[in-house]
Amino acid sequence: MSRWVLVLLAVAACRGGREVQIEVAIPGPDSVDAPVAHLQLVALPYDRDSLLQSFEARSARPAGPARQLDSLFTRFRQPFGVYAAAAYRLQSLDRAQERLKLRLDSLPRSSPAYDSLYRAFAAGMDSIAAARRQRDDAQRELALARAKLSPAIDSLRQLMARWEDSTYRGYDSITKALGSVLGREPIADSTDAEGKARLWVPRGRWWIYARSWDAWDPYSEWYWNVPVTGDHLVLDRSNGRRLPRY
């Protein structure tokens, strides 16, 4: 072990703290949890939710616009879900057909397995053509829904954005002051291609904050604000919340 590694380990030991291994996974279009690559993670030395609640206590979220947005989001979610499912099925069929073609190309035409694989390949092409038509139909329906609903959604989201700007004014300065008082600043990193990350956090209480897109709804997101209680943390549907993107 080099002298510099020993020095770094000694410094880390003096500072105290620990390495936290983090994994992130969300439900994909097939409802199976899949790793989330290149997602930004932030270790915070304070409870973000409690801080936000203190701001919102001064000015409650506008209930009327929020209810209207929830209703519009629900109406948009149905055609979006149909399109997402159709697009995912087409993609899956394309990949299966590519694998089948590779097997065919690896066999001589005289092989006993060639004829059955070729028939499967031909049937696969028919399935892909039908799936593509379904995807295109769903895409047209989604475009109609977007054209019909987007103006009202955009208008209401602007109202919510103005409320957020007013309600959370001063948030950055308060969190900066909190970091100075605690002697610990936020620590940011991103997950790798496998949805994993390692964060070194100094001694003290920490929360891992992250947001991720939702495969089934462009107007919602997965949100985590999870306390660090050990050296391994999984962020998934069990400790995350699906929140509307007002």
pLDDT of residue 112: 87
- For residue 239, pLDDT beyond 80: yes
Q: What are the two backbone dihedrals, phi and then psi, of residue 66, each rounded to the nearest 5 degrees?
A: -65, -40
Write out pLDDT tens, residues 172-210. Answer: 999 999 999 999 999 999 999 999 999 999 999 999 999
pLDDT of residue 53: 95
- For residue 62, pLDDT beyond 80: yes
Which tokens sit at 1? 């072990």
pLDDT of residue 9: 43
pTM higher than 0.85 for the full model?
no
**Rounded to whole angstroms, how far apart are CA atoms 216 and 129?**
24
**Rounded to whole angstroms, how far apart are CA atoms 111 and 109?**
5
Q: Among 26, 22, 51, 40, which Cα is nearest to 211's?
A: 40
pLDDT of residue 216: 85
**Rounded to whole angstroms, how far apart are CA atoms 51 and 6?**
39
Residue with tokens 């054209």: 147
Instruction: Name the pLDDT band for 77 (thresholds 50, 70, 90).
Output: very high
**Rounded to whole angstroms, how far apart are CA atoms 31 and 76?**
19
Instruction: Name the pLDDT band for 15 (thresholds 50, 70, 90).
Output: low
Q: Which amino acid is at 50?
A: S
For the chain, what is the HEC assignment? CCHHHHHHHHHHHHHCCEEEEEEEEEECCCCCEEECCCCEEEEECCCHHHHHHHHHCCCCCCHHHHHHHHHHHHHHHHHHHHHHHHHHHHHHHHHHHHHHHHHHHCCCCCCCCHHHHHHHHHHHHHHHHHHHHHHHHHHHHHHHHHHHHHHHHHHHHHHHHHHHHHHCCCHHHHHHHHHHHHCCCCEEEECCCCCEEEEEECCCCCEEEEEEECCCCCCEEEEEEEECCCCEEEECCCCCEEEECC
Q: Considering the chain, what percentage of its residues have pLDDT values greater than 70?
A: 94
